[in-house]
Amino acid sequence: MRRSDLVSLLKHQHAVEEALEELIADAEQREFSAVAADICSHLEYVCEGVVPQLSLKKKNILALNTYTAIQLYKDVPLRKTKKRYMHHPLQLVNILLGAGCDDIITLLAALYHDVPEELFKLARKNDDTRSEEQIIRENVSDVGRATYLSLLEDMTEARARHIASDVMQTVSAVTKKKDQLYYPYIGRIFSVIGSSRRAMHVKVADAVANVGELYSPKAALLRHDEIPFDSIVQAYEERNSLAISSFQQRTRGLGKRENHPKTEDFELKGSDWMKALYKGAVVLLAYRAWSLATGKRDRIVESIPLAQEIHDKAKEVLDHNATFHNSDRRKGHLCPQRCYDIWQEHLQYVDMGGYESVTGPTDHPFDGLLVRFFDTAVRGESKFIESLNHDRPNMQRAAVAFRYVAQRVISDPQYHIQGLGTEGLKLFDLPGS
């Protein structure tokens, strides 16, 4: 894509985000009747070109529940991306519609999926001393009540009650308790026995949204990562001394701190990107384990581009590091030669079978990355993954690994990683060591 076309696309994406922010802010303050037309217009925009198309009845139900969800989320703090929280559940709806999901129960559960967790946090801030279970149960009941009331104009009380109950069950299934470890939480959703397809759909869409919102059109307008990691690798593979010299000269200037684009107000730090990629990979591989164990493939999940999203965002990390954190050989920094060395380490790790199972730290630079940086992060210890912000070689290794794993999932329907299970990481010996 030409730079001018990319800039036009980014400006359009930014304008859409700004318009949605205004709509949510407006809806927080006004009655439904005053904003119904704007919410319906937004849904029409989202549904444009979607197959199958939502019926008018479902669109009206979704519009009213969008308004209700805005009211429930309005006191929740802004996301890390500094957007109103309601952006996130609306993104899930967009993703599910794009994947061909027209099941109103799933779509409503997506809108309300974070209500129990986020309102529990607010309750604790307001000194509510009831148990977590009591507060979450009340929050789920509020979701059910809102859903039920929104359905009464279009169906019988019995039918409305049945749908509201299913929405509550799905929201409960994707609600993570405060002290629950991430692995068994995901394992419960993707359990071979008793798993809910709707919960799976919502969680996979949630993972895509969490990875997708790492990308800020406004930040991308400020930083164009113009030196692709793969181009550096290619130059060394081809022994193209002219290209190598050019990369060395260009990165020497771009790698200076004063030349780094000022994007901190618009996008998350690199460590946040890496944690989101890891959690997305856990969801991706949990679905793959479910599929292999049951011999089934879910049409909606297969249409949600989680693997591609992980692949693309990992590539963004690679290219950003190769452009703006690629100036010299000091500890914690990159240089074009080190980028190529990391690629060679990766190829060696592939040959050793390193991506087939979870392994502990050994002498190989790629080994133990999950244990050292990512497993600790999902267990609540952030200092290790945050250290990647000052350790670009290891961030680059992790990004290379995530991109490779995502590509393997896309290209090989039998690929999975042994040891990444519902209780955490189980370590294996490195096959080629």
Q: What is the 3-state secondary structure (H, E, C) of 259-279?
A: HCCCCCCCCCCHHHHHHHHHH
Residue 252: pLDDT band (50, 70, 90) is confident
Closest CA to 139 of 152, 124, 159, 156: 124
**Choice among 2-16, 231-245, 296-310, 398-412 with the minimum mean pLDDT:** 2-16
Both tokens of residue 263? 């994007």
Per-residue model confidence as pLDDT tens digits over 162-208: 999 999 999 999 999 988 999 999 999 999 887 899 999 999 999 99
User: What pTM value is reported for the model?
Assistant: 0.94
Average pLDDT of span 275-290: 96
Is it the case that residue 433 has pLDDT exceeding 60? no
Is residue 167 within 8 A of residue 107, CB to CB? The reply is no
Contacts of 395 (CB under 8 A, 6+ apart): 270, 271, 274, 317, 321, 388, 389
Both tokens of residue 15? 């304008």
Is it the case that residue 158 has pLDDT exceeding 60? yes
Any idea how long the chain is?
A: 433
| CA–CA distance, 117 with 145 (Å, rounded to integer) | 17
Residue 265: pLDDT band (50, 70, 90) is confident
Is it the case that residue 266 has pLDDT exceeding 90? no
| CA–CA distance, 258 with 250 (Å, rounded to integer) | 15
Which of 182 and 264 is assigned the larger pLDDT? 182
